[in-house]
């Protein structure tokens, strides 16, 4: 189809690889927005989820926070952020962070809860104190599910960062929105492909990190149920 050949031509045009609207610039914008949101989100979500899971408190809240989080329309939250904070990266990152936090809270909570109580008892019996038990026994066991949560968040954020272009944000969403406005469909198509590739790359690289972090013995014990790791689509 013509659109495919046109899109290919768009990618092979050297002009599209340089300058403030070039692929490298947009890529770094997109990565920056996504990475900052996920990192800030993790700094909030992981301690919260891990603490709740370790002490077994507020279970319903921790599990339902992910339901509520998923219910937030990303378009709405981005526009609200713009109207509160104006233009720039701040509103975008705040909105994306809000979307990134819930899956990580829920997953870390569940991850800690799923640690076998017998193992907890054994650790107690062996003389582990609270923090040591958490860090040396429970967390390593919880890593797979926690990483799955981070991975879900990250892929979701990368996809949703596309919408940032609607409030004058950068990143690959710019190609989609500008291409639409200029009726330059190869550009829109290119933007779609770039976002898809970036999401895929995020998924694969974080899966790799997950595999590297999980102690081999545990890796063989558990495999997360496929339907639990299905990435939720917000954009």
Partner 1 sequence: MGRAVFLDIVDPWINWDWLSTHIPTVLAALEQHLVLTAIALAGGLAIALPLGVAAHRWNRLRLPVLGGLGAFYTIPSLALFALLIPYTGLGIVTAEIPLIGYNVLILARNVLVGLESVPPDILDAADGMGYRRLPRLLRIEIPLALPAIFAGVRVATVSTIGIVTITAIIGLGGLGQLIYKGLIENFHTPLVVATILSIALALVADLSLAGAQRVAVPWSRDS
Partner 2 sequence: MNRRPGSAWLLAAVASVVVMVAAACGGTASPNAPASKGTITVAGFNFPESSILAELYGQALEHGGYTINYKLLLGTREVIAPAIQSGQIDLYPGYAATDLEFYNKGAGEATGDVTATAAKLNSHLSSIGLVALNPSAAVDQNAFAVTKATQAKYNLTTLSDLAPIGNQLVLGAGPECPTRPFCQPGLQNTYGIHFKDFKPLDTDGPLTRAAFKNGTIQVGLVFSSDADLTQLGLVVLQDDKHLENADNVIPILRQKVATDDVKTILNNVDAKLTTTDLVTMNAQVELLHQDADAVAKAYLQQHNYFA
Positions that interact with partner 2 (CB under 8 A) = 20, 82-83, 86-88, 167-168, 174, 177-178, 180-184
Q: Among partner 1, partner 2, none, what binds residue 109 when CB lies within 5 to 8 Å by partner kind?
A: none
Going residue by residue from 175 to 214, which x/- string records binding to partner 1, judged by CB under 8 A?
-xx-xx----x--xx-xx--xx--xx--------------
Q: Measured between alpha carbons, how far is 195 from 204 in angstroms, rounded to an integer? A: 14
CA atoms within 13 A on the CB side of 231: 23
Please check whether residue 159 is in contact with residue 197, taking contact to mean a CB–CB distance below 8 angstroms: no
Comparison of 28 and 182: residue with beta carbon closer to partner 2: 182
Q: Among partner 1, partner 2, none, what binds residue 178 when CB lies within 5 to 8 Å by partner kind?
A: partner 2
Q: Among partner 2, partner 1, none, what binds residue 114 when CB lies within 5 to 8 Å by partner kind?
A: none
- Residues within window 149-178 making contact with partner 1, judged by CB under 8 A: 159, 162-163, 166-167, 173, 176-177
Comparison of 23 and 72: residue with beta carbon closer to partner 1: 72
23 touches partner 1 by CB under 8 A: no
**Other Cβ atoms closer than 10 A to 102:** 27
Comparison of 19 and 59: residue with beta carbon closer to partner 2: 19
94 touches partner 1 by CB under 8 A: no
72 touches partner 1 by CB under 8 A: yes
Q: Among partner 2, partner 1, none, what binds residue 218 when CB lies within 5 to 8 Å by partner kind?
A: none
28 touches partner 1 by CB under 8 A: no
Contact set with partner 1 (CB under 8 A): 3, 63, 67-68, 70-77, 79-80, 82-83, 159, 162-163, 166-167, 173, 176-177, 179-180, 185, 188-189, 191-192, 195-196, 199-200, 225-227, 230-235
């Amino acid at each position: 189809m013509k659109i495919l050949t046109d899109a290919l031509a768009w990618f092979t045009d050297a002009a599209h690889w340089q300058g403030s609207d070039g692929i490298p610039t947009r890529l770094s914008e997109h990565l920056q927005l996504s990475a900052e949101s996920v990192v800030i989100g993790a700094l909030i979500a992981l301690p919260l989820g891990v603490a709740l899971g370790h002490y077994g408190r507020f279970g319903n809240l921790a599990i339902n926070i992910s339901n509520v989080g998923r219910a937030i329309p990303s378009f709405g939250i981005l526009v609200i952020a713009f109207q509160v904070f104006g233009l720039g990266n701040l509103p975008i990152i705040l909105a994306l962070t809000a979307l990134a936090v819930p899956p990580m809270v829920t997953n870390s909570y569940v991850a800690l809860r799923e640690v076998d109580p017998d193992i907890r008892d054994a650790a107690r019996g062996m003389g582990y104190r609270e923090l040591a038990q958490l860090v040396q026994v429970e967390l390593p066991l919880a890593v797979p599910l926690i990483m799955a949560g981070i991975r879900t968040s990250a892929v979701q954020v990368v996809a949703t960062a596309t919408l940032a272009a609607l409030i004058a944000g950068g990143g690959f969403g710019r190609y989609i929105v500008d291409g639409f406005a200029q009726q330059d469909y190869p550009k829109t198509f290119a933007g779609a492909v770039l976002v898809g590739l970036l999401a895929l790359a995020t998924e694969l690289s974080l899966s790799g990190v997950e595999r590297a972090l999980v102690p081999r013995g545990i890796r063989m014990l558990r495999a997360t149920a496929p339907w639990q790791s299905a990435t939720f689509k917000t954009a």
